[in-house]
Amino acid sequence: MPSFETEKAQMRQILSERRNEITPDSRHGHNLKNVFLKHFSLTEELVLAGFWPMATELDLVPLLSELDRQGVTCGLPVVEATATPLIFRKWRTGDELDKGPYGTSHPSDRQDVIEPDMLLIPLLGFDLDGARLGYGGGYYDRTIEAMRSHSKVCCVGVGFDGQQVGCIPTGPYDQKMDWIVTPTRVIQCADLNKSI
């Protein structure tokens, strides 16, 4: 195993334990919703894909529900097969979700497939250069690489402030975020000194 993969595995364990210590009340996404909406002005033409929270992830549902109310087309990721890019299906507030692999929840196959302009992406860790530490399956890296090969997609990593580290080790297939959003701030990764 390359040394950076060993380092990433060790970092995953540490950051998973750190995130597990966050209280359930702190995981609710009201602050995240307010920070996101203060910074990003989204139009009804935008197509956005978020994620349904699992385990100790930050809860995106308040934000997604508000965007849906505003008329933004929202979707959630679907794992179709191992080691393939994700697809995204349309989601509306109140939709029942199907259970997916790895503890995920997603819209049923009766919902339309969408092509997002913006992805809100869960993470275990991040640095100010936009490097993201995920769960190790590579689903988002494959998805972002495929989408960036034919269109411009804005990638926004979503997590807690305590998930920031000095440097995430990266390999040739790791895709960087354009922005990071936490419950307290928005970080534009292309400009390391800009934190809003």
Query: How many other CB atoms sit within 10 Å of the CB of residue 157?
Result: 27
User: Would you say residue 111 lies in a domain?
Assistant: yes
For residues 128, 133, 138, 139, the Cα torsion angle rounded to the nearest 10 degrees is -80
pLDDT value at residue 132: 96
Grade residue 26 by pLDDT with cuts at 50, 70 and 90.
Answer: confident
User: Would you say residue 193 lies in a domain?
Assistant: no
pLDDT value at residue 195: 43
pLDDT value at residue 190: 61
User: Total domain count for the chain?
Assistant: 1
Measured distance CA(13)–CA(136) in Å, rounded: 11
User: Would you say residue 194 lies in a domain?
Assistant: no
- What end-to-end distance do the CA atoms of the chain give, in Å? 38
User: Would you say residue 30 lies in a domain?
Assistant: yes
Helix (H) or strand (E) holding 146: helix 139-148
User: Would you say residue 46 lies in a domain?
Assistant: yes
pLDDT value at residue 25: 79
User: Would you say residue 50 lies in a domain?
Assistant: yes
Residue 192 has pLDDT above 50, yes or no: no
Percent of the chain with pLDDT over 90: 77
Q: How much is the pTM?
A: 0.93
User: Would you say residue 183 lies in a domain?
Assistant: yes
Encode pLDDT of 94-103 as tens digits: 999 999 988 8
Measured distance CA(106)–CA(133) in Å, rounded: 22
Per-residue exposure over 39-73, b if at least 16 CB sit within 10 Å of its own CB, e if not: ebebeeebbbbbbbbeebbbbbebbbbbbbeeebb
User: Would you say residue 117 lies in a domain?
Assistant: yes
Encode pLDDT of 56-104 as tens digits: 999 999 999 999 999 999 999 999 998 899 999 999 999 999 999 888 9
Residue 4 has pLDDT above 80, yes or no: no
CATH of the domain at 20: 3.40.50.10420
User: What mean pLDDT comes out for the span 129-148?
Assistant: 95
In which domain, by residue range, is 146 found?
3-188
pLDDT value at residue 153: 95
Residue 196 has pLDDT above 70, yes or no: no
